[in-house]
Structure 1
Amino acid sequence: MAGAPKAWRRARAALRAQTGVRAGAILFLAGAVSVLGFAPFHVQPAYLIALCLLVLMLDDARRSPAPLKGGFWRAWCFAAGAFLAGTFWVANAFLERGGVYAGFFWVPLIAMPSGLALFWGVAGALYARLSRPGPGRVVTFAALFTAVEFARASWLSGFPWNLPGHVWEAGGAVSQAASLVGTMGLSAATLLILASPAALDGSGSRAARALPPVFGVLALAGLIGFGELRLARTPVEETGYAVRVVKLGIAQSERRYENRHAMLEAYLELSAAPGLDRIDAVIWPEGALPALTLREPDLIDRMAGVLPGETLILGATRAETGALPYLYYNALAVLDFTAQGPVLAATYDKTRLVPFGEGNPIRPLTEIFGFQSLSTNSPFLSPGSGAARIALGGLPVFAPLICYEVIYSGYVREAASEAAWLLNISNDSWYGASTGPYQHYNIARYRAIETGLPLVRAASAGVSGLVDPLGRGLQLSGLKSSEALDIPILAAADKPFYANRGDSPWVTALGLVLLLVHVLPLGRRRRRSAR
């Protein structure tokens, strides 16, 4: 790069000399450091530096004798480091389950990051093979890595966790772009903006190389401006309805069947605190009690005795044992404690199950080693029939979302289509005091931005509370606290563009930009050769 400072040229030459295992190690470390960009840290410069380093080292792979192999290896190493540092806490679930399951703790530490990194490896190989020298290559980079993130979020069961767009804290100015293009569209913009400084290195005139970073700064300023305007001009109003969210901050290891009565008393004490007469429903988290609650009359009767005339929304394992094979569901249940007795007013069965944690697609194989699933209330769980809305007499219609169902934009859009608010119940105690619960909470807040609906969250050993339609957290609990939060149900904001149109508009726009970046230079080269 002519005109570059000598120090940069020396550093660039040293970086270019890294190959094979050494190059992979550097990028593995860079990927791990990039996780500082995500919750709870949100240090976006760490993500920017890591992405730019990845682009530069993929450029070096493009010039190597084996670009496909080199590009795959380098991008895979980067992603493996990022996924290990970003999801290491999943191993805690295996350790919490104990017994034979603890022996599988290596799966989320080795197999899971390695498998997820394959998506980025493919993008790296394609980039090394298809990208052209010059500043326009950062558009190619953003398009290819957005495509594989789309695939990661949807193929098989999908795992849209720590997408590039999640580096922006939900509820802030930049995150408001998700109301227009969704989190995946924001991820495409994030990759393009944060990778743009890499264009300063490489071929082309100084003005041409400066164009992507200048565009990146202007685009980021535009996102901030749009977000600040939306935050300032969108009213947040109450509906007059209120719920009481009750959570216990106990560790997963204490959530045992023999502790069900003690846990029930703790829930009931918080649920019946003063002010209950002003509450329309009490909400408990996912799998609130370590039992088949709906099949234990003594538990239900005790609830009815303490909460007469109240409505209780709680997470419970639901069983269907009328015929073989028995079926078990991770359910949300609505209990009305009427004068005539408890009434099961509604149920919703979780549809998007956590692989191996709840559902197990290869159970016949894993049972050889004594592994069915991590579920403690049943040997395994079956998926529900799909997204739903629940209408109760004393509350606006809500869309129930159990645990990590809230991370799926498309699923939540479907559920929210005729709802007035979102309810997410979760059990984050599986993951201990790690970054996992904070990442979960940040991702959940994006669903409020995309749908324009307020979100109420009840999470055991997780962040519980209220999220307004702009993704801002209100009346929040800590991870380990045991408390009751009286939360007003907010009115929905105007339906966002993304809720109506989905991903198609921004995908089309990105495709056109990519086409222009590749076609226009090709046309100029042909005209020059014709002369």
Structure 2
Amino acid sequence: MRRFRNDGLAVLLGAISALALPPSHLVFVLLLTVPMLLRLVGRARNWKVALRYGFVFGMGLHTAGLYWLTDAVLVRADEFWWLVPLAAPLGAVPLACFTALPCAFARLVPEGWRRVVLFAAVWTLSDLGRQFVLSGFPWNLWGSIWEFPGLAGDVMIQPAAWISIHGLTLFTLLLAATPVLGRRGMLAGLAMLLVWVAAGSARLIWPPAVGAPGPWVVLVQGNVPETDKQNQDAALGIYRRYVALTQSGVADAAARQKQAEAHGAAARPIVFAWPESAFPGLLERDRTAREVLMQAAPDAAVGLIGSVRYGSDQRPRNSLIAVMPDARVGAVFDKAHLVPFGEYQPPFLPVQIVPGGGFEAGPGVRSLNLPGLAPIGPLICYEVIFPGQVVQASDRPAWLLNITNDAWYGNTSGPRQHLAAARMRAVEEGLPLARAANTGISGAFDGQGRPLARLGWGIAGSLVVALPGPLPPTVFARFGLPIPLLLCLLCVLVALAPSVRRLHRTITISK
């Protein structure tokens, strides 16, 4: 009974911890749940029991944090009704394996500051690992808990420009675990928090020099339900809706540009963007549709449209297509990070569950260089959640564009957490970011992650944003994931060093 009681407590602690994630941002709950998890680990008979506690904690955390996956199944509940109660738990299983590791490793050192440091470091290393294993899914990262709205959130996320969201996760865990260290530990945590706030404030008060202003970006949000997107009879109506919203949005941007020029401002190009798979057909092959669209937006320098396309191998791609004013296709970008089980068939599965094997992956992240425009960094859907993997280093863009279709996940925390991930990439890279989402939330951030504009969930409209210029490459943009990796390895070394020295002395004496 004690075993089941402790497992139940670990699951509950994990589920409560999910309240710290966006959009709830109940950060203080981690001051309860993380210390209690460490207590369970300390009371475990051996490392295997500690491993189990970490796994069930992860099941609670990620099942609660991924509850919105159920909405995607409900869209096709007539076919996958049996998966409704299983979607979130099944998504949590692989992620829970990563939360089990830090609990097992924590048993390598005695209770105290060394256990806290080792636990935080291995947890963060596990998060780094799950960015790459099985296509990668770095969701529910605890560094994101600081992305609450307003100035306070802007301050707390600034250090990501140096250490990324993974570095924020490391320090979040160190802070959350301080109650187990007594008064001195709490004071050390308070000092760390004050340094964090000072560093974030300094970056906001004395920002780096900003580059040349970006374009006017018109983000078109059609608010098309996923059931309509799958209905071929609704295709023409969807196209007309997007064209009408584009026409009004581009006209609004042109009027603002004229007003700005009247006050001495320089001319900016106008770019409009449709969300992921917004075009209900094959835009690359439909010149008539491209002509009608660009005639409706004569002031636009380019349209960036989400559409399926087929390559020379006759395999489908989830793509962004750049349409020029003369209706020709100026460039294409194919999504490289595909969603397993949704967009492609994992090769290790013996049973075919994705029709036709799904989409073909693109070659990877790259910048689009189009006439009259600074380089653009396109990211389709959840490609934006991968820290350090969103920018082509050899051809750094002036701004990032994330197009997505979050209609699958309803009015839940899923789209809001996706938006938070996009905001963090803007801070890490020092680049403004615009986001066009089918049902919301569309918006834009500057290179410090401060909101510029926002169009809420479930609204059809077009959002006009004058993007600022890029900031110089941040420390993280220059050196990437080795920064949080080295931070974690340093913490591991500090935590294990006394044990290694004692082992060395023991071997020396025995000789």
Q: 1:513 to 1:353 in 2, by over 3 A?
A: closer
CA contact (8 A) 1:359 1:380 kept: yes
CA contact (8 A) 2:287 2:328 kept: no
Shift of 1:293: 3.0
Q: 2:227 aligns with which of 253, 276, 281?
A: 253
Q: 1:437 to 1:337 in 2, by over 3 A?
A: same
Verify: 1:275 aligned to 2:263, yes or no.
no
Letter in 1 for 2:237: A
**Where do residues 8-157 of structure 1 align in structure 2 (5 Å cutoff)?**
19-61=2-44, 64=45, 67-128=46-107, 130-157=108-135
Q: 2:338 aligns with which of 325, 346, 353?
A: 353
CA contact (8 A) 1:287 1:315 kept: yes
Q: Deviations over 1:462-516 (max 9, x none)?
A: 2212111011122101011111111112111122111112233443344334333
Shift of 1:418: 1.4
CA distance in 1, matches of 2:496, 2:103: 18
Verify: 1:429 aligned to 2:407, yes or no.
yes
CA distance in 2, matches of 1:181, 1:302: 46
Look up the SS of the partner of 2:276 in the other structure: coil
Look up the SS of the partner of 2:447 in the other structure: coil
Q: 1:525 to 1:357 in 2, by over 3 A?
A: closer
Verify: 1:405 aligned to 2:383, yes or no.
yes
> Which residue of the partner structure matches residue 222 of structure 1?
195
> Which residue of the partner structure matches residue 333 of structure 1?
321
**Where do residues 373-412 of structure 1 align in structure 2 (5 Å cutoff)?**
380-412=358-390
CA distance in 2, matches of 1:272, 1:407: 31
Q: Please identify, of 89-98 and 179-188, the stretch whose mean Cα deviation from structure 2 is larger.
A: 89-98
Q: 1:187 to 1:414 in 2, by over 3 A?
A: farther
Q: Please identify, of 78-87 and 282-291, the stretch whose mean Cα deviation from structure 2 is larger.
A: 282-291
CA contact (8 A) 2:388 2:481 kept: no
CA distance in 1, matches of 2:481, 2:293: 44
Q: 1:195 aligns with which of 177, 195, 208?
A: 177
Verify: 1:184 aligned to 2:166, yes or no.
yes
Letter in 1 for 2:433: L
CA contact (8 A) 1:152 1:159 kept: yes
CA distance in 2, matches of 1:458, 1:408: 18
Look up the SS of the partner of 1:124 in the other structure: helix
Shift of 1:35: 1.0
CA distance in 2, matches of 1:314, 1:416: 25
CA distance in 1, matches of 2:401, 2:383: 11
CA distance in 1, matches of 2:7, 2:81: 30
Structure 2, gaps ≥5 residues long: 258-268
CA distance in 1, matches of 2:387, 2:452: 22
Shift of 1:297: 4.5
Q: Please identify, of 67-76 and 228-237, the stretch whose mean Cα deviation from structure 2 is larger.
A: 228-237
> Which residue of the partner structure matches residue 416 of structure 2?
438
CA distance in 2, matches of 1:240, 1:159: 31
Letter in 2 for 1:123: P
Look up the SS of the partner of 1:345 in the other structure: strand
CA distance in 2, matches of 1:232, 1:37: 27
Look up the SS of the partner of 1:346 in the other structure: strand
CA contact (8 A) 1:244 1:485 kept: yes
Shift of 1:181: 0.6
> Which residue of the partner structure matches residue 215 of structure 2?
241
Shift of 1:298: 4.6
Q: 1:508 to 1:302 in 2, by over 3 A?
A: closer
> Which residue of the partner structure matches residue 312 of structure 1?
303
Q: 1:366 to 1:298 in 2, by over 3 A?
A: farther
Q: Deviations over 1:360-406 (max 9, x none)?
A: 11497443xxx315xxxx87211001111011223211110000000
Letter in 1 for 2:284: L
Let me know the Cα RMSD of the aligned residues: 2.5
CA distance in 1, matches of 2:36, 2:481: 29
Q: 1:196 to 1:426 in 2, by over 3 A?
A: same
Structure 1, gaps ≥5 residues long: 1-17, 201-209
Provide TM-score, normalisation by structure 2: 0.89
CA contact (8 A) 2:367 2:391 kept: no
Number of matched pairs:
486
Look up the SS of the partner of 2:467 in the other structure: strand
Shift of 1:434: 0.3
Q: Please identify, of 97-106 and 133-142, the stretch whose mean Cα deviation from structure 2 is larger.
A: 97-106
CA distance in 1, matches of 2:491, 2:388: 25
